[in-house]
Amino acid sequence: MLSAYHSLANTALSFYDPLGLGRAALDYWRDSIERQVLFLDVMRQRGNQYLEHMEQTKPNVLGFDAEILMDGRELPRPVNYELLRIQPPEGVEIDPDMRPFVVVDPRAGHGPGIGGFKPDSEIGVALRAGHPCYFIGFLPFPVQGQTVEDVADAEIAFLREINTRHSHISEKPMVVGNCQAGWQLMMAAALEPECFGPILIAGAPLSYWAGERGKAPMRYSAGMTGGSWLTAFASDLGAGLFDGAWLVQNFEKLNPANTLWTKQYRLYANVDEEAERYLNFERWWGGHVVLGGEEIQYIVDNLFVGNRLSCAKLTTRDGRRIDLRNVRSPIVVFCSQGDDITPPPQALGWIRDLYADVDDIQAHEQTIVYCVHDSTGHLGIFVSGNVSRKEHAEFTANMDYIDVLPPGLYETQVTEKAAQGARESAHIDGDYLLEFSPRTLEDVEEIVMPIDEDERRFATVERVSQINLGIYQMMVQPWMQAIMTPSAARWIRRMHPIRLGYKLFSDRNPLMVPVPVMAEIVKRERHVIASDNTWRILEGMVSDQIAASLDAYRRQRDQMTETLFMQLYGQPWLQTMVGLGATAEPLSRRPGIEPEHRRFIAARKSELTERIEEGGSLEAVLRALIYILGGAPATDERNFQRLKASREEFKGELDLAAFKALVRDQFFILRMDRKAALDALPAMLTDASNAEIDADLAHIEHVLAASGPLSEHAAERLAAVREQFDRARPSPSSGQ
């Protein structure tokens, strides 16, 4: 009937609408009605998908088949986590001798599986590279009484199991932690560093007080609500369980334009192409889980409000201090300027919180690499296919290289392989080139932009939070715990606005019954209008105006929130009342050096001093390369590929772990006494013939040539190395 009416109207308009505006309006009217019906049908499918997902015992959005290896509920201190082994898809070959790859999923309100959500995901990239892959996920409800420490211990137990399964190789697993899983993973690695290989933390907040003014509005949330008492109240409403939908709602409030308009309008405007993508994403975004009240209170008090992880102020129940300086594996921090949930200052601020300078990092034998993306959002860091194909692919392909980097602080950039010449590209894995540049703490501070007055304000929030939480726990919590029952808590969770929004558009709502029938009719006779339709263009303009208005509201809201926060918690009288005093002296948050670590450094120096002249050609070549390149064994992956390929050229076999230890030893020897280390080169080559010395020098030049022409400074150092190698040549009378 609609089509017949439309034909009749078109015939009439052909006489009275010479410019075609009326015909365009009629086409647009028909198309918009059809899109509305299809939009409602997608929303109905979303609601049904949500209900089906939530009714599953172990909901998961992993895009790969997996086998459960360990159930955290069977551990001595049970938790709702599982260790899964990913089954490679058809056509993908796994090399059992390659380093295992582990993804730890974030438990921040959403369900598990985001790290393996799509073929172009962190797991997908690792599988295509041939790595055995594992996944640490979780169930929707926690085990009663489980704590954050229990979860960290479970992750350690899972890593031990993986190490046992791959005991035939020397490399420890590469472990990836997204968002919340990043700080959780770092806690576990600080407690048991020997279980972990290189660690990649993507979009993970570790320094919660850090942030640039005018950005990162989430860091003001605790101050504007009076601290963590609200978390305790929400847990009491859940009869000891915290609904993750509250966390999801906080994320959505950050960008009201996207939440209230853009996301839905994009589906409505392109409903014929967008439906599948929208439903796939909503399957994860709407898979809300529940956290234990004790867990979330620990997280909010110690991390979000207290910022104690980045300053080594956390201790376990048995007295172990959680100090990130204990992590022995290389740490790769991946963050983005476009991330409003974990902006770069929060991802990198822990470095300046823990270390005085790069010498301090090197003294702890730590290798820290950071990469700052220009634009991708928080979810894009570990969901975007473009990011996975580029940054994650390069990190995965070059973890052996990162594992060999000497201690220090580096920034990495991923550049197009096409920009390199054919000769230079020969030693590049994949389509991109991974380049490293040594950095200092001053470079990090330019990103973090610390302000001492703001540190005092957040410290004031921490004290106010403790006071308010204490009052709540004394005067209100006993009553809440007495009246709330599990049944009432379940009813409250079901009535949460976000959860209710899914259910109202599902088939459980009788008003949605005609929608699938109408959608089927529309699909059979779909009339898509051209993109140049005048009214369709006008629709897009109106949509842009609505999004711009909501963005303007967000900016105004965030600016007012920041101003109020700064004014309130910057008051000297409030800071004095909570015990911080009104002095202008900055708060010292950097932890001290443990006496045990000082003794370790002294013993390490004494050991290396005795070994300055030890070694042969291999040690001499590596020492020379590190010296020429100014401290690092390579400036990008090309040099490492040459080193890796040429290890067999030296006498005997040297696995990657031994190679890494050798590089680090030579680095520290050079750092400790550069002159003595260089002067010792002839002694290390005493038994070498002229031909062997020539081969060693040719090897050095071959490695250096992999990344292009040498700088003037590096050329001077190469000349100094040549001179030392020439001093080692046997005299002509020796006959060699």
Contacts of 393 (CB under 8 A, 6+ apart): 125, 129, 430, 432
Helices assigned H by DSSP within 220-354 = 221-224, 229-237, 245-254, 256-257, 263-269, 271-285, 293-299, 344-354
Q: Which residue has the higher pLDDT, 619 or 539?
A: 539
Q: Which residue has the tokens 């005997």?
A: 652
Taken in order of first residue, the domains within the chain and their CATH numbers are 66-207+307-449 (3.40.50.1820), 595-734 (no CATH)
> C-alpha distances in angstroms, 554 versus 245, 338, 456?
21, 16, 26
> Could you give phi then psi for residue 135, rounded to 5 degrees?
-135, 130
Q: Which of 326-335, 403-412, 589-598 is predicted with the least confidence, judged by mean pLDDT?
A: 589-598
Among 69-78, 622-631, 645-654, the range with the most confident prediction by mean pLDDT is 69-78
> Could you give phi then psi for residue 582, rounded to 5 degrees?
-110, 15
Contacts of 696 (CB under 8 A, 6+ apart): 617, 620, 621, 685, 688, 725
Please say whether the beta carbons of 394 and 434 come within 8 A: yes
Model confidence band, residue 117 (pLDDT cutoffs 50, 70, 90): low
What is the share, in percent, of the chain residues with pLDDT greater than 70?
84
Q: How far is CA 634 from the centre of its chain?
A: 25
Q: How far is CA 461 from the centre of its chain?
A: 27
- What single DSSP character describes residue 362? H
Please say whether the beta carbons of 109 and 247 come within 8 A: yes
Give the residue among 322, 364, 9, 62 at the shortest CA–CA distance from 189: 322
Please say whether the beta carbons of 165 and 99 come within 8 A: no
- What single DSSP character describes residue 653? -
Give the residue among 353, 355, 373, 376 at the shortest CA–CA distance from 364: 355
- What single DSSP character describes residue 636? B
Model confidence band, residue 423 (pLDDT cutoffs 50, 70, 90): very low
> C-alpha distances in angstroms, 425 versus 392, 411, 568?
19, 21, 57
- What single DSSP character describes residue 104? E
Please say whether the beta carbons of 455 and 589 come within 8 A: yes
Please say whether the beta carbons of 441 and 680 come within 8 A: no
Please say whether the beta carbons of 214 and 352 come within 8 A: no
* Measured distance CA(387)–CA(393) in Å, rounded: 8
> C-alpha distances in angstroms, 227 versus 97, 209, 231, 299?
50, 14, 8, 13
Query: Strands 241-243 and 199-202, how do they pair?
Result: unpaired
**Does the structure show a pLDDT above 60 at 420?**
no
Please say whether the beta carbons of 30 and 8 come within 8 A: no
Q: Can you give the pLDDT at residue 6?
A: 57
- What single DSSP character describes residue 3? H
Residues pairing with 373 in the sheet: 336
Model confidence band, residue 378 (pLDDT cutoffs 50, 70, 90): confident
Q: Which residue has the higher pLDDT, 622 or 472?
A: 472
CB atoms within 10 A of CB 602: 10
Q: Which two tokens stand for residue 274?
A: 């967008």
In this structure, the chain runs to a length of 736
**Does the structure show a pLDDT above 70 at 21?**
no
SS3 call for 250: helix
**Does the structure show a pLDDT above 50 at 427?**
no
Give the residue among 147, 202, 149 at the shortest CA–CA distance from 180: 202
Model confidence band, residue 20 (pLDDT cutoffs 50, 70, 90): low
Query: For residue 180, with 0-12 CB atoms within 10 Å meaning exposed, 13-18 middle and 19 or more buried, which class applies?
Result: buried
What is the share, in percent, of the chain residues with pLDDT greater than 90?
40
Q: Which amino acid makes up residue 686?
A: T
Give the residue among 335, 415, 414, 435 at the shortest CA–CA distance from 375: 335
State the pTM of this model: 0.86
Q: Can you give the pLDDT at residue 251?
A: 86
Q: Can you give the pLDDT at residue 559?
A: 95
Q: Can you give the pLDDT at residue 484?
A: 94
**Does the structure show a pLDDT above 90 at 345?**
yes
Q: Which amino acid makes up residue 211?
A: G
Give the residue among 726, 642, 167 at the shortest CA–CA distance from 424: 642
Q: Can you give the pLDDT at residue 47?
A: 92
Model confidence band, residue 5 (pLDDT cutoffs 50, 70, 90): low
Give the residue among 310, 557, 298, 558 at the shortest CA–CA distance from 455: 310
List pLDDT tens digits, range 656-704: 677 777 888 888 888 888 888 888 888 888 888 888 888 888 888 887 7
Q: Can you give the pLDDT at residue 359?
A: 84
Please say whether the beta carbons of 411 and 443 come within 8 A: yes
Please say whether the beta carbons of 667 and 407 come within 8 A: yes
* Measured distance CA(97)–CA(309) in Å, rounded: 35
**Does the structure show a pLDDT above 70 at 127?**
yes
Buried b (16+ CB within 10 A) or exposed e, 231-252: bbebbbbbbbbbbbbbbbbebe
**Averaged pLDDT for residues 184-205:** 92
Q: Can you give the pLDDT at residue 633?
A: 52
* Measured distance CA(556)–CA(606) in Å, rounded: 60
- What single DSSP character describes residue 173? P
**Does the structure show a pLDDT above 80 at 339?**
yes
| Angle made by CA atoms 381, 193, 447, in degrees to the nearest 5 | 40
> C-alpha distances in angstroms, 606 versus 104, 361, 596, 602?
39, 19, 15, 6
